[in-house]
Amino acid sequence: MATTLAKAADGADTTEYAARIEHVSKSFAGPAGPQLVLDDITLDVAPGEFVTLLGASGCGKSTLLNLVAGLDKPSAGSITTNGRPALMFQEHALFPWLTAGKNIELALRLRGVPKAERRERTEGLLELVRLKGAYGKRVHELSGGMRQRVALARALAQDSQILLMDEPFAALDAITRDVLHDELTRIWRETGLSVLFVTHNVREAVRLAQRVVLLSSRPGRIAREWTVDIPQPRRIEDAPVAELSIEITEELRGEIRRHGQH
């Protein structure tokens, strides 16, 4: 069914949710007939909420994110979002022939922001992601972490109420990933964005989220949810983070074992 959007003309939040996923299923054609990837998913993301989607590889996490982004349509059910979501992938997807600043400005231009305002807004976004002075740098001059910061700034330039993130830090080294966890938490708290974040890393999920949603192995169903009542800022090595991560990991292993028995 078609994705619908709900947002007031002045951009104000007019709903009690940033995204509403209602009884969504998704099938793809396969050699033996339709393959059910997602089955009857119902999930709300509240305004300003940070939710992580967790599950084994192939459970449909990225498929669900693509449906929320409007890149594909569910086979059944409906998805409603408060405005058009911004999407950030694992790969930065920056245009290498443009500077960091021009990559961000492209998003502003597509939004219809007047040319005279783009440079100032871009500089502000670069400062928000701690890349002040990087406007003129080419993509090949940036480290992996810096490229993801530019990609995040470009996503924020879309002025969306909800940010969808598909394993954006998976390819980074542990130290860079740790730093970007801190930065993402800071930006989320400063902007009030809603975030739906896909990961297969349990510690990452617990460190970042207010709520962790575990999907079962294919077909993906919501197996369990956890509210994370650990104060921010958190460290990945904090004892409460480790304790909850152990509990979630056991549930995840159980889902993987159940899938292996089919």
Domain final residue pick, 111, 136, 159: 159
Query: What phi and psi, each to the nearest 5 degrees, are found at residue 184?
Result: -65, -40
pLDDT at 11: 46
Domain final residue pick, 159, 188, 214: 159
pLDDT at 34: 84
pLDDT at 260: 62
Residue 201 included in any domain: yes
Same domain, 217 and 261: yes
Bridge partners (DSSP) of residue 196 are: 51, 164
Same domain, 179 and 71: yes
Series of mean pLDDT values for 10-residue runs along the chain (262 residues): 39 70 92 87 96 89 93 94 88 86 92 88 91 91 90 90 92 89 92 94 95 91 95 91 95 80 44
Same domain, 177 and 251: yes
pLDDT at 203: 94
Name the CA dihedral angle for 16, 213, 201, 103, rounded to a multiple of 10 degrees.
-30
**Residues whose CB falls within 8 Å of the CB of residue 101, separated by 6 or more in sequence, listed in order:** 119, 122, 123, 126, 134, 135, 136
Instruction: Give residue 106's domain range.
Output: 94-159
Name the CA dihedral angle for 241, 246, 250, 256, rounded to a multiple of 10 degrees.
70
